[in-house]
Amino acid sequence: MSQLIIKTVASKLHLCNIRFIIKKPEDMSKKINIFDYYMDFEENNVVIYYKGPFMESILAKISEDIKMRFENDPITRQKLFSIFIELAQNIAHHSSERNIYADQLKRSGNGTFQISESEDHFTLIAGNLIRNEQVPEIIDKCNIVNELDIDGLRKLKRDLRNLPRREGHKGANIGLVDIAIKAQNQLQVEVAPVSEDYSYFIISVDVPKLGKSE
């Protein structure tokens, strides 16, 4: 699973990087190789990784970890934290895989989040299950975001804020726009078919390190 999430997107559909991945069902008798799992994370320099329900208490813990790890770089810390919040809220509210907590009478979406580090940038990746009929709309929203420069994104954000909530579902989500503005980079997307009804949606964005952006 981590290989699927970490792998660099190579192909493109329009301006939004989209790759459709078809994976055969795993042999249920096959044991997990913990060492390979560990080396995968080491080779990709994974800083933070989480898989599970995106409930408020968990988000608070991850937020604290991000702030602690990057406390000596407040500008990068704020960018990573803000993008994490947008990605996490999308999983919490829109993932098709959900948990229900009887004590809180709330439902929480399941998903995966990761931050990895390279020489000149950080990569934030989030993944969650979606229904197949949602795929075209999500791709369209990513295309809208990736077609615009920073000024265009800021204008789109203002326009979306002025729309009534019901109409705000048209076009790109404000959350996606915010991610692109903060990262000053395009969104990358992978869509992995899981079944006739569901796909796994993966979104990632690179955040340049200070002094490393072109």
Token readout for 125 is 């990746």
- Quickly tell me which residue has 């799992």 as its tokens: 37
pLDDT confidence of residue 150: 94
Burial class (CB in 10 A: 0-12, 13-18, 19+), 129: buried
Lowest mean pLDDT among 1-15, 68-82, 190-204: 1-15
pLDDT at 167 over 70: no
The structure tokens listed for 184 are: 């000053």
**What is d(CA 139, CA 130) in angstroms, rounded to the nearest whole number?**
12
The domains found in the chain, sorted by start residue, are 2-22+49-208 (3.30.565)
- What is the reported pLDDT for 47? 86
Query: Quick one: average pLDDT of 143-171?
Result: 81
| pLDDT of 22 | 46
**Mean of the pLDDT values across residues 157-180?**
76
Q: What percentage of the chain has pLDDT greater than the value 90?
A: 44
Lowest mean pLDDT among 56-65, 99-108, 126-135: 99-108
Mean predicted confidence (pLDDT) in 168-195: 83
Query: Of 56, 39, 50, nearest to 108 (Cα)?
Result: 56
In tens, the pLDDT along 69-97 reads 898 889 999 999 999 999 999 998 889 88
pLDDT at 200: 93
pLDDT tens, position by position, 8-49: 333 334 445 555 544 444 554 555 566 666 667 666 788 888
Q: Find out whether 29 and 80 touch, Cβ atoms under 8 Å.
A: no
What local confidence, expressed as pLDDT, does residue 147 receive?
Answer: 93
Provide the pLDDT for residue 212: 58
Look over the chain and give the mean of its residue pLDDT values, rounded to a whole number. 79
What does the pLDDT read at residue 9?
Answer: 32
pLDDT of residue 44: 72
Is residue 119's pLDDT more than 70?
yes
Three-class DSSP category at 51: strand
Please tell me the number of Cα atoms within 13 Å of 99 on its side-chain side.
14
Q: What letter represents residue 109's amino acid?
A: G
